[in-house]
Chains A and B, each alone.
Chain A
């Protein structure tokens, strides 16, 4: 086996895991606290990437564009929550799914109208478009390491926010008993808008970080959104810790499966069959893992304590 390739692919897997975590954290917060299924989370991811692409073009600097795009993404989320989704908290999950599905259609067309049907590229500044030697003689793209670092920083920041700050206290309280929090005089509506805004900002950040390595295009949020669903189902809906661990699991399994499964299958099957079966099988792997997890623990690996 090729150890250098294994190391590189593991890093790529962790980096995909970090992007998934940024999406899944918001999704799981919004669901865990507001009991809202948000399919349009992928649209917020897509919008984040488009904001970053346009702002990079205007300012000429990708990091500056990200700093400017973050509040924009949060604002978008809050507007969506106030205008469209606020009425759906008391509705069934089916109604929520359909309403947010409607939002996806809307945002996909809106993006096509504003930015056109062709994808965009986000150019990286020269100092990020380099590689670093992670081991002597083994270069690895600097920007991918930046994604790793951002993911870890956000995870730490979220942990601090949820467990050490006043708003985190309200978030935890809202998750376990929202009527009681309201009765104690907390403005639940505002709290929900803020949480949705934070979730939107994290999704936008994931889109911005993914922009330079994947192409910025319509529908880019949908396939990764479904991966994020798999993540929170495995991790346990409502649990940020579960989302973090499951993100890494899914990122690693998916990436390593895609790069090594053809070789592994080749050990058992003739190369013709292996090369036919491997792409189909490797895209099934995370779903098989999900099925196994659910068969053993239907609530996911880390169901949050005190959740309904």
Chain B
């Protein structure tokens, strides 16, 4: 494939992301490292959700629950390591393994039930399950209930540079993001990816061709759940804090917005979407204009809501749609 506009833009984006920490260091802009770290981690979650939403056509509205699972593993792990002396729970590798385990189990159970349904039922059921886990987190008084929990320290990863350095965490997140992008790319062009796309376009036909579509979708759902769980692991470390708010259903909505904003069903789209979403939030909430005593920035969602509706109405391909000339009529 020759180098088209989208590929060139992706290269530039990756180069910029790689160069950001030293550049920010020059300009005394530590703030941007933290902001973009957050965007990278949300991009990881969006790339994961895009795996089922974009490729597989499954509109999961409870994806933030998996962020919560990863985050609570980190939060609970460091708490038990510190307060109860269970040292191995503070270890980042153990926490990652537990994150993978718990998100896989949760995704298997939620997916197995939800995937029995289609269309709008699926949206509502995943929403309900996500909210269920949210309320479970609210009910966990031991981890602070509604208020959440501050991390004593970030995950310890012996053999790697210390994650408590914001730059290290930045590059660690960027590495995970690039890995997941590569995985998505490989999966999309694999036999598994073709079957998944086929299930989105016409599930009955895929079933008639003899593919066990339910099983394919369930496997995709579990993979996406695990990947999102890892995003949660990173997010807890990035914010040094966990709370049920991380898994509130509006967070799941934000992830879907990022995907649609960036370009649904494209490998790189969610990355642009997550960056655009956070930058837009940062920009709109910083608008200093004051009308009749109300600072517009303080009510930025008043603008963002209608803008979102207009984007969905008129810019269906998202940001990636502008980068990539309309090719296969998708």
Contact = CB atoms under 8 A, between A and B. Distances in A.
Interface of A: 31, 37, 84, 87, 91, 93-95, 97-99, 101-110, 112-113, 222-223, 226, 229-230, 232-233, 237, 276, 279-281, 283-284, 287, 290-291, 294-295, 298
8 contacts: A93-B119, A94-B59, A97-B256, A102-B309, A109-B300, A287-B132, A291-B113, A298-B121
Interface stretch (B13-21, B135-143, B228-236): B135-143
B301 A108 contact: yes
A113 B59 contact: no
Contact of B128 (A84, A93, A106, A230): A230
Of A105, A106, A107, A233, most B-chain CB atoms within 10 Å: A105
Given A102-B306, A287-B128, A294-B116, 17 more contacts: A87-B313, A93-B120, A98-B312, A102-B304, A105-B304, A109-B299, A113-B299, A222-B250, A223-B131, A226-B127, A232-B124, A280-B139, A283-B136, A283-B139, A287-B132, A290-B125, A294-B117
Nearest to A84: B309
Interface of B: 53, 59, 61, 113, 116-117, 119-121, 123-125, 127-129, 131-132, 135-136, 138-142, 249-250, 253, 256-257, 260, 264, 294, 299-302, 304-309, 312-313
Given A93-B119, A93-B123, A280-B136, A102 B299 contact: no
A280 B250 CA distance: 21
Nearest to B300: A109
A156 to B, nearest CB: 27
Given A109-B299, A290-B125, A295-B113, A99 B135 contact: no
B301 A233 contact: no
A136 B300 CA distance: 55
A123 to B, nearest CB: 28
A280 B120 contact: no
Contacts of A109: 299-302, 305
Contacts of A104: 250, 305
B16 to A, nearest CB: 28
B143 to A, nearest CB: 11
A195 B303 CA distance: 28
A190 B141 CA distance: 51
Contact of B301 (A105, A229, A298): A105
